[in-house]
Structure 1
């Protein structure tokens, strides 16, 4: 950590060049003694990437930024704030502390937080920033979190871990493919805590994760603006009951959730071929789709499903508690009828339809429109249809 980067003149330079070409800055001579051009470029790039993801850090003074990869991998403030509510007790250890976003928000809920980070440089940066943000109840350990827990006599009310996928692994992965290997170390962790919270990427298969873990009381599927961000696995010591799945959507500060027990995920649903003008069309948020409880979505919100493989639903009424988009149906057309219409406008959505959106836009000469939608899909009898609709509720 180069403390010279925290000098006021350097910070002013960084702030003044947030919209500059960082490649030119990296190749030019540094205007500051003891600071390389590459260091300036890294600070500018990392701070720029933090503006929306980490506004507290972006707007604070004397923040020191790590390499850009750490910013890309860290939790956003929105998801960190959510998961902080899932911790319990007075003590928590974050054994994969990283840049310290999660630890900072845990410290708002928990009396004493321990941040473990195996990278000494990143640990020092996180500690400096915590002091800059006046988070005084976080203790920093520049060491391997698993090793620290195993050798420490201290127990914690909650253990939090964000395992990283090993570089050689592809998109499909299991917990055993991550570092640290939580599945293999689970018994050791449960000796030191009654609650373990594991964050994973959303592409981890829920059934596969459950097969590797035990005593999973809850799985939180967290999405922000219809983008599934993370899975949070809550393991409670001595818990041996059914796992509760909670799909959580966060949009502009508003949280909605859809929850059920894993054993009840395969419910029944009614289907409909009759889509009347003025009715509502419901599109579930990404978090609900990740849950896999497609039929349960319909029965929970009293909706009729269009087709077994099409996760679209309809109803005569608007239910603003629904986590997802709601459209008002303005017309239901065959593709033959659509061809006869000119001046088509709308965002194109394709669900179980044998064509790509970009090809349909080109074929029917559809112009973009923010609030109008053309939804190409099929109904229960297998017929392909096009629904013209306007948006009532965004995610």
Structure 2
């Protein structure tokens, strides 16, 4: 950690060039003798990342220090950090086993009584300790070392152990649970010696069912999305829990988090009604589809499903609470009729359970992207290919 970066003149330079291309800064000669151009580029890149992920850190006009780009890539955003903190009991004691850039520890500390941030990268641990102190938090302790080694040598107990294992090993991304570092599967008994509740953040691409087969005592799974983009999977394990896990699809796109909860037994037993498009078309958020609530979402909201594999729904009356995009249907035509008389030149095209991809449809029918009109190319329950014309309501 080069403390010369914290000087007023260097900080002024960083703010003046905060919106420029960091790579361009790296190629220029540094105006400072003790701060290299690559270090300036690193700070500018970090400022840009944080301004998107955790803007409130910059609103305080504090002098922060940003680590290497790789250390920022896996860090949580403000919205996911706040949501995770909301799952904690007030005045609790939390161990952040793989603290990283410290975003989760920051929000945990606002809810918990005490947080221990562990980070095996000593320089990163030093940076986080400085930043969170600068941001005014005094209930976080820092351990610059291996969190698992700390547990092995300790008798301390925590209300929660939180882990965010690295999904980049030897400069390659990994997605299987056993390939992440640290290998949390190998330390399950150790974790439960020190806490009754384990919370693990995992890659959005991870297979949920596969993880449930190898992780014991899973009580809750949270599938978290922002703007229809799946950001995180959270697995909450409780030492004494032996029941059926509850799956929560969480949308953080609205001011108040929107949750849809179910379990896989309910999903298996759900019997949705199939029907043709009526007045409204519903396209579920990615959190719903990633969670696997394909039938449950229809039965809970009393919607008709268009096809077993289309994962699109319809209703006569508007269901505002539906977790996803909602469209008012203007008309529905068979694909064979559409092909003979393409009467639209610009629209947003979505292809679901349909033989042709979006790019193929655009090229074939010369339809430009954009505008207020939406075209859903899909398949109905009787295997008819149709095109649904609509405009977005929500």
**Bucket of the pairwise TM-score, normalised by the shorter protein:** over 0.9
1:319 corresponds to 2:319: yes
Matched, 1:268 2:261: no
Are residues 169 and 381 of structure 1, via their aligned partners in 2, closer, same or farther at CA, if it must alter by over 3 Å? farther
Residue 168 of structure 1 and its aligned partner are, at CA, apart by 6.2
1:135 partner SS: coil
Query: CA deviation digits over 1:223-282, x for unaligned, max 9?
Result: 11111111110011111111111111111423211101232221111111x323xx0000
1:84 and 1:45 map into 2 onto residues whose CA distance is 27
Q: 1:36 — aligned with what?
A: 36
Number of the residue aligned with 1:236: 238
Match of 1:227 in 2: 229
Distance 1:285 1:186 in 2: 32
Match of 1:362 in 2: 363
How far off is 1:206 after superposition? 1.0
Question: What residue is the counterpart of 2:380 in the other structure?
Answer: 379
Q: Is the 8 A contact 1:345 1:373 kept in 2?
A: no
Contact 2:62 2:134 in 1 (8 A): yes
What SS is found at the alignment partner of 1:164?
coil
* TM-align CA RMSD: 1.6
Cα distance between partner residues in 1 of 2:256 and 2:362: 33
Structural mapping, 1:6-17, within 5 Å: 6-17=6-17
Query: In the TM superposition, what are the counterparts of 1:151-170 in structure 2 within 5 Å?
Result: 151-167=153-169
**Is 1:392 aligned to 2:377, yes or no?**
no
CA distance in 1, matches of 2:56, 2:189: 36
In the alignment, the residues of structure 2 paired with residue 12 and residue 348 of structure 1 have an alpha-carbon distance, to the nearest angstrom, of 46
Secondary structure, counterpart of 2:312 in structure 1: strand
Instruction: Check whether the contact 1:223–1:250 (CA below 8 A) recurs between aligned residues.
Output: yes
> 1:169, CA displacement in angstroms?
9.9
Of the structure 1 ranges 145-154 and 129-138, higher mean CA displacement relative to structure 2 is found in: 145-154
The separation in 2 between residues aligned to 1:42 and 1:236, in whole angstroms, is 40
Q: Shift in Å at residue 329 of structure 1?
A: 0.3
Select between 194-203 and 353-362 the one with higher mean Cα deviation. Answer: 353-362
1:216 is matched with: 218
- Matches of 1:80 and 1:169 in 2, distance apart? 25
Distance apart, 1:294 and its partner CA: 0.8
Separation (CA, whole Å) in 1 of partners of 2:310 and 2:344: 28
Q: Distance in 1 between matches of 2:274 and 2:56?
A: 47
Give 1:1-395 correspondences, 5 Å limit.
Answer: 1-59=1-59, 60-88=61-89, 90-167=92-169, 173-266=175-268, 267-272=270-275, 274-276=276-278, 279-338=279-338, 339-393=340-394
CA offsets 1:271-306 (integer angstroms, 9 cap, x no match): 11x323xx0000110010011121111101101110
Rounded Cα–Cα distance in structure 2 between residues aligned with 1:169 and 1:36: 25
User: 1:179 is paired with a residue of what secondary structure?
Assistant: coil
State the aligned residue count. 390
Distance across 2 between alignment mates of 1:90 and 1:352:
47
| The 10-residue stretch of structure 1 (99-108 or 159-168) with the greater mean CA deviation from structure 2 | 159-168
Distance 1:168 1:243 in 2: 33
256-265 vs 383-392, which moves further = 256-265
Contact 1:172–1:203 (8 Å) recurs in 2: no
1:2-27 Cα distance to aligned partner (Å, 9 max, x none)? 11111111111011112223333212
1:170 Cα offset (Å): 7.6
What is the Cα deviation at residue 344 of structure 1? 3.0
Q: In 1, Cα distance between the equivalents of 2:132 and 2:36?
A: 25
CA displacement at 1:73 relative to structure 2:
1.1
* Segment drifting more, 121-130 vs 338-347: 338-347
TM-score scaled by length of structure 2: 0.95
Contact map agreement 2:167 2:173 (CA 8 A) in 1? no
In structure 1, stretches of 5+ residues that fail to align are: none
Distance of 2:371 and 2:66 partners within structure 1: 37
- Residues 50, 192 of structure 1: CA spacing in aligned structure 2 closer, same or farther, 3 A cutoff? same
Q: Give 1:368 deviation, angstroms.
A: 2.9
For 2:359 and 2:120, how far apart are their aligned partners in 1?
Answer: 46
Residue 204 of structure 1: SS of its match in structure 2? coil
| Residues 213 and 389 of structure 1, relative CA distance in 2, 3 Å threshold | same
